[in-house]
């Protein structure tokens, strides 16, 4: 009787005929991060190395890790969260940004977010954001176009409050 050896789900007539399976090679730390840029019409708000980013697309959140497939996407209104790489290429802190509209583009090891509006969570004063939300919620109109604008103001104000709250106690 011939003995069978199984390697990689394939049967081989003997162990010496089976291929030697090797583990995946270790990825250098420098390859575990990617370049991230956040640009508004007023200028560059962020330029650094990240190990993870969560970006609000028009149809939901998109997560980005190093080596992700290339993609172009439309941005929505929401919170962008970034986990930065430290000098060794591993976690170096978190930052969050409120962004609205624009386009995102990921290629190789570079994520570029071009947005019409953005604010860093560290720049938002929570009490002021809450006052802005209260004022937006009190606004009303019988005109449909004005009501649409009021709804967008409410959404922006809610986002500011959420970004301000999620940034408390965090940072680089």
Per-residue tokens: 43: 């200028």
pLDDT for 21 equals 56
Residue 136 to residue 129: CA distance in whole angstroms: 11
Please report, in tens digits, the pLDDT of each residue of the chain (172 residues total).
445 555 455 555 555 655 555 555 555 545 688 999 999 999 999 999 999 999 999 999 999 999 888 999 999 999 999 998 876 555 578 999 999 999 999 998 999 999 999 999 888 888 888 888 888 888 888 888 888 888 888 888 888 888 888 865 444 4
How many angstroms separate the Cα of 55 from the Cα of each of 58, 97, 107, 151? 10, 9, 15, 22
Three-state DSSP at 100 gives: strand
**Residue 156 φ then ψ, to 5°:** -65, -45
- Could you tell me which residues come within 8 angstroms of residue 7 by beta carbon, excluding any fewer than 6 positions away? 18, 19, 21
pTM for the whole structure: 0.72
Residue 48 to residue 64: CA distance in whole angstroms: 14
**How many CB atoms are located within 10 Å of the residue 24 CB?**
5
């Amino acid at each position: 009787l011939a003995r069978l050896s199984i390697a990689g789900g394939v049967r081989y007539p003997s162990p010496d005929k089976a291929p030697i399976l090797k583990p995946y090679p270790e990825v250098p730390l420098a390859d575990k991060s990617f370049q991230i840029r956040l640009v508004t019409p007023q200028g560059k708000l962020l330029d650094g190395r990240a190990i993870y980013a969560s970006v609000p697309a028009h149809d939901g959140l998109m997560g980005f890790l190093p080596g992700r497939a290339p993609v172009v996407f439309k941005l929505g209104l929401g919170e962008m969260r970034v986990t930065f790489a430290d000098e060794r290429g591993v976690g170096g802190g978190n930052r969050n940004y409120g962004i609205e509209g624009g386009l995102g583009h990921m290629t190789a090891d570079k994520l570029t977010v071009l947005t019409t509006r953005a604010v860093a969570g560290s720049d938002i004063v929570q009490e002021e954001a809450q006052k802005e939300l209260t004022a937006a919620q009190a606004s009303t109109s019988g005109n449909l176009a004005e009501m649409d604008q009021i709804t967008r103001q409410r959404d922006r104000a809610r986002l500011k409050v959420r970004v301000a709250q999620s940034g408390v106690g965090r940072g680089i």
